[in-house]
Structure 1
Amino acid sequence: MKYYIIAGEASGDMHAANMMKQLKLRDSDAYFRVWGGDRMAEEAQELAKHIRETSFMGVFAVVRHLKTIKANFKFCENDIMAFKPDVLILIDNSGFNLRIAKFVKNSGLSTRIFYYILPQAWAWKRKRVHTIQGWTDRRFSILPFESDFYESYGYKVDYVGHPILDSIEQRKPELVSKDEFLKTHGLSAKPIIALLPGSRKREINTKLPKMLNVVKHFPDHQFVIAGSETIELSLYDQYTDQQVKVIFGKTYDILNNTQAALVTSGTATLETALFNVPQVVCYKPGLVTFYLLKGIISINHICMVNLILDRRAVAELIESDLNEKKMTHELKAILAPETRERILSDYAELKTKLGGLGASERVAQLMVEDLKLLPSSDN
């Protein structure tokens, strides 16, 4: 089978790569052409575009790069027509992927269209469920509440569990001991508070300075920044001094050895929870974007941990609430033993709801079984 796979950011790259490994085990003739990052490139025969050329975050970033985005659409459409895949697998990245799904659906190709890691229609633009249903052949969900949401519209999705569990399990053998971690990075014996400001320049510029404002309030702790491998050290150096370490490409080692964390909303909140680290979730989209989103988003929480548990298990500080006073207060609260115990209990429930290990295997198996049903002329 010829697979064309599109992911738009680092987390999608990771989950798609794990899925590709499982597809290879079940389809010995699997041939991949992909839009993704380094992990997908390692698994694929061909890389069409790297995510550093295609990933733009925020309303204004999209507006500034409209010309590039339009060029990427055209390139992708032409590339798919030339490649003629048996199956198109879309990973998250709804703004781009839904347009490509529509194009392929109307292209005359016999390509099967799968969507894995669905757009968050339950959060905003709920009517997109009709679009997603109409432009794709099969949908695979990673969040437990999505099945009920789609069923409320009369549509079916396959819940396979969250692949982040697989990703963490794969990395566990590589994690270093606490003594080795401290020694390697020149850290003291003080308890660690981790700062996860995100993986994009805009996220780091807006959140890291605010996170660093709390450092002086915790003299008995040391702070470590989880640096993104796609960002230059010079960006972090604008805001940090020698008292705060920036460690690149070791987020899981950091989480494995930290007492608490300030975390940018996104996949990192789930990763932090799965390492049993109490956290304060930080979200600052910008005042204009915040008020635009406030008018259209129909959910009670922005943090995935809270969304899945359907309650405020961890604190969320959004826009104007993301200030020194409130961040310090919430961070002190989660360092208290009684709060920590309550959060860890919530995390245990979260892990159960995420479906356990094997999401990558389950989605690959369902995809291959589906493709085996295609008429031989389509293969």
Structure 2
Amino acid sequence: MKYYFIAGEASGDLHASNLIAEIVRQDKGAELRGFGGERMEKAGMQLTRHYREMAFMGFLPVLMNLKKIKQNFKTCEEDLLDFQPDVLVLVDYPGFNLRMAEFAKKHGIRVFYYISPKIWIWKKHRIKKIKAFVDEMFTILPFETEFYKELDYEVNYVGNPVLDEVMSKPPKVDFQSFVKENHLPDQPIIALLPGSRLQEIKSLLPPMLEAAAAFSNYQAVVTAAPNIDQSVYERLLADYPAARLLHNKSYEVMQQAEVAVLASGTVSLEAGILRCPQIVCYRMDGGALFYWLGKHFVKIVWVSLVNLILRRTAVKELLQHNCTVKNIRQELSLILNDATYKKQIRESYDELRQQLGEPGASARAASAMIEKLGGKN
């Protein structure tokens, strides 16, 4: 069968690549093409356009890149019709993907959605488009089944692929071996993970660095996103010569860190599975105006996946005007100096792990998709 994939950012590339690998394993005649990244390409998909040309975050960056976004739609529509797949598989990235879902349905192409748009956070009205244009939704968060049930839409919960990804990594090495291998000082680590989008890195990394610099007995280790140019980090780290930058080491750094200061998103869940105490940060592009809009129209208590899944504040969230150097520093001090507090966070992670269930999400998703398409596996 023929599958056309669309993933618009680094996390989508990662999860789609694991799904693609399973589809290739289970469907020996699979042909795959689409928008995504090098991981998807390596897994067996013919890459039409890289997500680097698509990942615009926030109102202003989108406004400034409207021409490019319009061209991306045109290219995708033409390529989809040229390929004529049995199914269009959309991975998160709803602003782009729901429009492509509508286009595909108008042209008689089945639409599967892997990793639901976060309509439980905002834009709940998108359920109308999902019902109209998405034939099958494959979800990865346990609470989404009940959420969609209340909206009279049946979904397929397959488990969380983050669990698969984390558990597939090599086991934790001892600290001395880690610092030696990565040419780091022999000091405990504060991990800084400012996200994978350029806008959020520019917004979050400076206060993270300044807050971490107050703890002279610790080293700040920044993990670089693969799609961001090295020069971006060099400029932001210029005033912090003691901070270190590592590439393709986010899991390893969190395994070794005493605490991680991180952007909200998938990495929060990764830190939870790795049992690394965390501080979740988020700044919305556009400042006070967009925060006000968000506060009034976003119907949710938490933004981090750890807290959302556990339905309580298990880890600290510092959002928009609360995401300050002072507040990050204060929470760092609490985690680093209060053993009881750190223990409570890790006990919450144990509960999180239970709720996520068993590994194998990508295999289950691939199997379900092939079955629904009428194939055999």
Task: Give TM class, smaller chain.
Answer: over 0.9
What is the CA distance between 1:74 and its match in structure 2?
A: 1.3
Q: Which residue of 2 aligns with 1:77?
A: 77
Q: Which residue of 2 aligns with 1:366?
A: 368
Q: Deviations over 1:156-199 (max 9, x none)?
A: 001111100111122225x6542222012222222111011112
| Distance in structure 2 (CA, Å) of the matches to 1:321 and 1:104 | 42
| Distance in structure 1 (CA, Å) of the matches to 2:88 and 2:30 | 13
1:224 aligns with 2:224: no
What is the CA distance between 1:216 and its match in structure 2?
A: 3.5
| Distance in structure 2 (CA, Å) of the matches to 1:207 and 1:153 | 35
Q: Which residue of 2 aligns with 1:238?
A: 235
Q: Which residue of 2 aligns with 1:351?
A: 353
CA contact (8 A) 2:3 2:33 kept: yes
Q: Which residue of 2 aligns with 1:280?
A: 279
The DSSP-based 3-state class of the residue aligned with 1:33 is strand
| Backbone CA RMSD of aligned residues | 1.5
Q: Which residue of 2 aligns with 1:106?
A: 106
Greater Cα shift, 32-41 or 193-202: 193-202
TM-score w.r.t. the length of structure 1 is: 0.94
| Distance in structure 2 (CA, Å) of the matches to 1:197 and 1:373 | 41
Structure 1 counterpart of 2:198, from 198, 201, 210:
201
Structure 2 counterpart of 1:211, from 208, 213, 218:
208
CA contact (8 A) 1:161 1:359 kept: yes
Q: Which residue of 2 aligns with 1:377?
A: none
Return 5+ residue gaps in structure 1 as ranges. Answer: 375-379
> Between the two proteins, what is the percent identity of the paired residues?
42
| Distance in structure 2 (CA, Å) of the matches to 1:87 and 1:324 | 47
- In 2 relative to 1, CA 126–45 (structure 1 residues): closer, same or farther, beyond 3 Å? closer
Task: State the one-letter code of the partner of 1:169.
Answer: M
The DSSP-based 3-state class of the residue aligned with 2:353 is helix
What is the CA distance between 1:45 and its match in structure 2?
A: 4.5
CA contact (8 A) 1:34 1:44 kept: no
Return 5+ residue gaps in structure 2 as ranges. Answer: none
1:14 aligns with 2:11: no
CA contact (8 A) 2:24 2:44 kept: no
CA contact (8 A) 1:196 1:262 kept: yes
| Distance in structure 2 (CA, Å) of the matches to 1:24 and 1:310 | 36
| Distance in structure 2 (CA, Å) of the matches to 1:106 and 1:325 | 52
What is the CA distance between 1:58 and its match in structure 2?
A: 1.0
Task: State the one-letter code of the partner of 1:146.
Answer: E
| Distance in structure 1 (CA, Å) of the matches to 2:83 and 2:128 | 28
CA contact (8 A) 2:104 2:110 kept: no
Task: State the one-letter code of the partner of 2:226.
Answer: E
Q: Which residue of 2 aligns with 1:33?
A: 33
Q: Which residue of 2 aligns with 1:261?
A: 260
Q: Which residue of 2 aligns with 1:97?
A: 97
What is the CA distance between 1:294 and its match in structure 2?
A: 1.8
| Distance in structure 1 (CA, Å) of the matches to 2:111 and 2:213 | 52
Q: Deviations over 1:2-45 (max 9, x none)?
A: 10011111111111110111111211100100211110011234
Greater Cα shift, 214-223 or 307-316: 214-223
The DSSP-based 3-state class of the residue aligned with 1:282 is strand
